[in-house]
A and B are shown apart, each in its own frame.
Chain A
Amino acid sequence: RKEVEQDPGPFNVPEGATVAFNCTYSNSASQSFFWYRQDCRKEPKLLMSVYSSGNEDGRFTAQLNRASQYISLLIRDSKLSDSATYLCVVIRYGQNFVFGPGTRLSVLP
C-alpha cells in the first residue's frame, strides 16, 4: 500500500462547480500536511498548508482528520485556471516529504 493515496481522476467539472479531492496517508507519525499544485509540464508549487482546525484560502478549503488519517481539498466556483494536478503531501520524520500520485482536475467551459 502506498504511504499517501489519492484518487487519480481525472475529475472533469464545469466552470463554477465545487469539487473535492481526498487523500489518505498510512503513517500515523506524519507531522505536517500540504496541497501542492502542478500544472501540465510544469514543476509542483505549494498551494496551501493543511491544519487540524481546517483552513481556507479564497475558494480553497483544506481539512485534516488525524484520527482517520485523511486530508481533503475543496475548490469552490471552479475556474478554467484551476485545471492542474493536485498533489497531497505529507511530511514524516521532520524532513522527508512524501507525495501522493496526484489527482488531475480539468475545468471545462
Chain B
Amino acid sequence: DVKVTQSSRYLVKRTGEKVFLECVQDMDHENMFWYRQDPGLGLRLIYFSYDVKMKEKGDIPEGYSVSREKKERFSLILESASTNQTSMYLCASRRDGNTGELFFGEGSRLTVL
C-alpha cells in the first residue's frame, strides 16, 4: 500500500511564526504536491515537484515555499504565517506518467492565531 505521511495532523501557530509541514511518501514516486483545502473552494495547488530538487509554482504559491532535497520528502514552508493561511493542508504523490491517481496524506490542519 502506498503511504503518504504528514508529520502533524493539527498545528496551532501565531501570526508571524515560521511553519514547516513535512510530507514523506514510501513508494518512490517522482511527483509530489501540496494543496490547501478550504470550504467552498476545494483543493487548490500551492506547489508541486516533478523530481528531487525541482519545484514549480501552483495556483496559489504566495506566502509559501517548498523544499525537495530527497525524493521521498516534500516540505511546505510558511515563512511568516498569517491568519488567512489557516486551512487544511494536503500532501500528495504520484508516479510519473501515471496520470490519474494521486495518493494523499491524511492532512495537516493549521490554525494561525
- A34 to B99 Cα, complex, angstroms: 10
Interface residue tally for chain A (C-beta within 8 Å): 23
Partner of A101, one of B42, B45, B90: B42
Which one, B61-69, B77-85, B104-112, is touching chain A?
Answer: B104-112
Would you call A101 and B40 a contact (CB within 8 A)? yes
Residues of chain A contacted by B12 (CB below 8 angstroms)? none
Residue of B nearest to A5 (CB): B42
- Enumerate A86-109 residues with CB–CB distance to B below 8 Å: 87, 91, 94-102
Would you call B100 and A34 a contact (CB within 8 A)? yes
Distance in Å: Cβ of B51 to nearest Cβ of chain A = 12
Question: A44-B43, A96-B48 are contacts. A32–B90 as well, Cβ < 8 Å?
Answer: no
Would you call B42 and A100 a contact (CB within 8 A)? yes
Interface residue tally for chain B (C-beta within 8 Å): 21
Residues of chain A contacted by B104 (CB below 8 angstroms)? 43-45
A-B contact count (CB 8 A): 46
Distance in Å: Cβ of A98 to nearest Cβ of chain B = 8
Residues of chain A contacted by B45 (CB below 8 angstroms)? 96-98
Would you call B105 and A43 a contact (CB within 8 A)? yes
Distance in Å: Cβ of A86 to nearest Cβ of chain B = 12
Residues of chain B contacted by A96 (CB below 8 angstroms)? 45, 48, 58
Distance in Å: Cβ of B36 to nearest Cβ of chain A = 11
- Chain A interface (Cβ < 8 Å from any Cβ of B): 4, 8, 31-32, 34, 36, 42-46, 49, 87, 91, 94-102
Would you list 7 pairs from A and B whose C-beta atoms are within 8 A, ordered by A residue?
A: A31-B99, A32-B100, A43-B105, A44-B104, A91-B100, A95-B48, A96-B58
